[in-house]
Structure 1
């Protein structure tokens, strides 16, 4: 159980991030990992609780606490504490096929569930996960392991984001012949083009993909299923088809002047920046340039924060980030006890950088756009903003954020990035396969299952559950793979 008194003897320590004014000069990851000795000491803080919420993955009041993958966290904490890093990796890989991704981009609800939160700081689980997988690669412990026997069954997976890669990993491991179709030029989906390089360097995706190829998975990029290849062709060619296309319909902002030039969806902005970086280190100029511009990001979530960090690295002149809701408290409130997800204000890397560059937090709360104003060339040059307040709406039967009369004001804006979330799956794919949808335009299945209304067709990830975390996409992929395997073989040992 680590060290019985470890949580009392050792303070939580985290990797040190490069100073904001230095790291904004590049697009690389910017944290220096803890030493091996310190990682082992951090493992000693784990108490191996009688009820380990860290690995529970349960919902409390609609919010997750604990790891959705049910990672065996106390076990690999103990293994690292005793210096048995190989065993730590063996325990980690039993539940998580992609710790090199989750160790970098997951918000780690496991740490939210850690019992140490009751009297101090949680065990440093996120960095421990990342250190285990990276040390396994460095030591040569990770090698291609193609299946010894093939089943003769074939599976097509559409989409190579975290859920698609997960389905491919498990079904290939089972012995099925797996082909992954990706419409972009690189494998990775959301991981490749939806998350900036400074959060997840793309070499780590490519490293895993090469390993999967050596194990027998076939990747076909630049193939848009539903356009370049018909749905019926896939159904005819393969024994099963798994759709993992994500929730890629961005939510728009309906305001006068929306059609003005210089207004983009965040996903398009981030993809263009990452692609140009990877293709030419920005030499091709095929990105949306923020240099010298007044940037406005609409949306306060992770994607909005990524737009903030990217815009600063591209040299924006000024930056504001709009958030419709009120600012969350800095500390947990009495009505939000452990082990619930803490509803507190989080200042992420992008906001830290904006504070360092511009001297203030870029976030403007309880505010939205009332109108976009364009110049004579049709380019956005101003935005009319309006303050919001919470009011009870009798018709809706709930509180809504309503405009405050007379609170309008204008700000100069040259570039607008809409990061207001996503609405669901894209219709050209769902229509091509004839899929039933939920009212949220997610692909409909029986609760707890992944089989669609169409024979041989399954779905997983954000396309199935709606916009969510990478770790939930992996969990969906893992569970979906088991259901597909059962459909193909009559049973599953996954």
Structure 2
């Protein structure tokens, strides 16, 4: 601990952020990091706790507290403070595959568990992490790690999202020949087409993909396993198959009028926007997808927020975001103490932009859609909504949301984006490999393991655990790589 009084002497300072009305002019990142000297002072705020909850990744009250990757947070923060950036990079990458991704998109579970929350603001660990990895790239410390010896073993990975990429990196560096199959036109999965460019520049994804290709990982895009390639063919060609296809079955809103034109699943919409930007090298913004539209976003999570930020950049006339649950409190409730994940109101970048542009928060709580209304041409034009109230289910004892009488409304909506979460893996893939799935359609594996019910087939990431965070997907990919390696070699040193 280089600065015992750092948390008392220095205040938390965040990256500089462009004003909402400025940043909505394009789809580029709008956060500008501190200078390295200022970032060092943020490292000095770490107290090097005897029990560092920040790196625990433990489940408390059903929620993750601390980093699932178990990054060595106090050690890394101390190296930031002392200016040992290369050592900080080496220490960080002992446990982390892709700091450049999580330092942009992770909700910072480490910071939520920081002891400084008890009487002040947490250490800026997420931005310290970004400073470390970007300094490492700038200084040329991030080099291809090619295996010195190949084992002769082959692994097919189906899906190139964060879990698949993490597993591919580990298994390739171990010396196995790794081929990653991706059904889309570019690798990256969720990182590519599920997260908007202003949140994660696709050049950052491309940089890592190029590095992995130099290391020897082979990517086969536009190849849909289960359709273009049969499962039997993969099992015949490769020693092991790892399924990392994500929880890619979106939850639908099945109400009358659902077949109206102009209703999208959120990820399909976000992916189409990103693809248009990439195909034109950002010279053409697809304004036609939302310009002058009254947009209704159904879902209050991160994906819903990304939709709000995206349609504002596309010139939407108005944005309404529906959330079924009650509005969270501004501060922690008594039954939500540290170091639990704080269940408090969070106003993210998309909502900030909506407030700046339209003068109000787009979120409407405890509300859902009961019907979509189409015009004579079959295009969505309105939606019927109803307010919800909580009630305890007599059978299960759980609180459920039910319609409240007298709260029905009709709102204008000529573009609807459904961001209601995901139900699990896609059936055609699990059927192709004949792997067992649970009641949530997640692939079943051995307890605390990654082997499926089919020999030589493994699963990891959201496909195994259900919809989750990028940081969890990376952990799953790394751990699945260990399991695959051990099954191939009889032991593992990953």
Whether the 8 Å CA contact 1:424–1:467 is kept in 2: the answer is yes
Whether the 8 Å CA contact 1:2–1:45 is kept in 2: the answer is no
Aligned-residue offset at 1:450: 0.4
Whole-angstrom distance in 1 between the partners of 2:122 and 2:340:
14
Whether the 8 Å CA contact 1:272–1:287 is kept in 2: the answer is no
Whole-angstrom distance in 2 between the partners of 1:475 and 1:167:
9
Q: Residue 313 of structure 1 corresponds to which residue in structure 2? A: 313
Alignment of 1:458-473 (within 5 A): 458-473=458-473
Aligned-residue offset at 1:242: 0.3
Count of aligned pairs = 494
2:7 aligned with 1:19: no
Aligned-residue offset at 1:393: 2.5
Aligned-residue offset at 1:2: 3.1
Rate the CA distance shift 1:75–1:282 in 2: closer, same or farther, 3 A.
closer
Whether the 8 Å CA contact 2:161–2:190 is kept in 1: the answer is yes
Whole-angstrom distance in 2 between the partners of 1:393 and 1:492:
48
2:488 aligned with 1:491: no
Whether the 8 Å CA contact 1:247–1:424 is kept in 2: the answer is yes
Q: Residue 425 of structure 1 corresponds to which residue in structure 2? A: 425
Whether the 8 Å CA contact 1:76–1:91 is kept in 2: the answer is yes
Q: Residue 49 of structure 2 corresponds to which residue in structure 1? A: 49
Whole-angstrom distance in 1 between the partners of 2:167 and 2:393:
44
Whether the 8 Å CA contact 1:258–1:372 is kept in 2: the answer is yes
Q: Residue 435 of structure 1 corresponds to which residue in structure 2? A: 435
Alignment of 1:103-142 (within 5 A): 103-142=103-142
> Deviation digits for residues 330-362 of structure 1, max 9, x if unmatched?
111121111010010000000000000000000
Whether the 8 Å CA contact 1:269–1:287 is kept in 2: the answer is no
Question: What TM-score results when the alignment is normalised by the length of structure 2?
Answer: 0.99
Q: Where does the alignment leave 5 or more consecutive residues of structure 1 unmatched?
A: none
Alignment of 1:50-199 (within 5 A): 50-199=50-199
Q: Residue 454 of structure 2 corresponds to which residue in structure 1? A: 454
Rate the CA distance shift 1:283–1:140 in 2: closer, same or farther, 3 A.
closer
2:409 aligned with 1:409: yes
My pick for the range that moved more, 387-396 or 327-336, is 387-396
> Deviation digits for residues 383-408 of structure 1, max 9, x if unmatched?
11111100122244322111111211
Whole-angstrom distance in 2 between the partners of 1:199 and 1:283:
19
Whether the 8 Å CA contact 2:151–2:176 is kept in 1: the answer is yes
My pick for the range that moved more, 120-129 or 392-401, is 392-401
For the residue of structure 2 that corresponds to 1:446, the secondary structure is: coil
> Deviation digits for residues 51-107 of structure 1, max 9, x if unmatched?
000100001000001100000111111111111101000100000010000110000
For the residue of structure 1 that corresponds to 2:83, the secondary structure is: coil
Q: Residue 244 of structure 1 corresponds to which residue in structure 2? A: 244
Whether the 8 Å CA contact 2:372–2:384 is kept in 1: the answer is yes
Whole-angstrom distance in 1 between the partners of 2:100 and 2:37:
21
Whether the 8 Å CA contact 1:2–1:48 is kept in 2: the answer is no
My pick for the range that moved more, 269-278 or 72-81, is 72-81
Rate the CA distance shift 1:190–1:34 in 2: closer, same or farther, 3 A.
same
Question: What TM-score results when the alignment is normalised by the length of structure 1?
Answer: 0.99
Aligned-residue offset at 1:489: 0.2
Rate the CA distance shift 1:422–1:455 in 2: closer, same or farther, 3 A.
same
Whole-angstrom distance in 2 between the partners of 1:110 and 1:288:
40
2:272 aligned with 1:278: no
Whole-angstrom distance in 2 between the partners of 1:123 and 1:284:
39
Whether the 8 Å CA contact 1:17–1:30 is kept in 2: the answer is yes
Whole-angstrom distance in 2 between the partners of 1:268 and 1:212:
27
For the residue of structure 2 that corresponds to 1:377, the secondary structure is: coil
Alignment of 1:293-372 (within 5 A): 293-372=293-372
Q: Residue 37 of structure 1 corresponds to which residue in structure 2? A: 37
Whether the 8 Å CA contact 2:304–2:321 is kept in 1: the answer is yes
Q: Where does the alignment leave 5 or more consecutive residues of structure 2 unmatched?
A: none
Whole-angstrom distance in 2 between the partners of 1:244 and 1:337:
35
For the residue of structure 1 that corresponds to 2:250, the secondary structure is: coil
Whole-angstrom distance in 2 between the partners of 1:115 and 1:282:
42
For the residue of structure 2 that corresponds to 1:423, the secondary structure is: strand
> Deviation digits for residues 236-282 of structure 1, max 9, x if unmatched?
00000000000000000011111111111001100000000110157
2:377 aligned with 1:377: yes
Whether the 8 Å CA contact 1:59–1:65 is kept in 2: the answer is yes
Q: Residue 386 of structure 2 corresponds to which residue in structure 1? A: 386
Whether the 8 Å CA contact 2:287–2:314 is kept in 1: the answer is no
> Deviation digits for residues 126-181 of structure 1, max 9, x if unmatched?
00001100000000111112010111100000000000000000000100010000
Whole-angstrom distance in 2 between the partners of 1:44 and 1:399:
44
Whether the 8 Å CA contact 2:25–2:313 is kept in 1: the answer is yes
The Cα RMSD (Å) is 1.1
Whole-angstrom distance in 1 between the partners of 2:302 and 2:90:
31
Whether the 8 Å CA contact 2:69–2:475 is kept in 1: the answer is yes
Aligned-residue offset at 1:309: 0.2
Whole-angstrom distance in 2 between the partners of 1:131 and 1:113:
21
Whole-angstrom distance in 2 between the partners of 1:161 and 1:287:
27
For the residue of structure 2 that corresponds to 1:41, the secondary structure is: helix
Aligned-residue offset at 1:283: 6.7
Whether the 8 Å CA contact 1:158–1:180 is kept in 2: the answer is yes
> Deviation digits for residues 165-199 of structure 1, max 9, x if unmatched?
00000000100010000000001000000000000
Whole-angstrom distance in 1 between the partners of 2:228 and 2:483:
28
Whole-angstrom distance in 2 between the partners of 1:433 and 1:284:
40
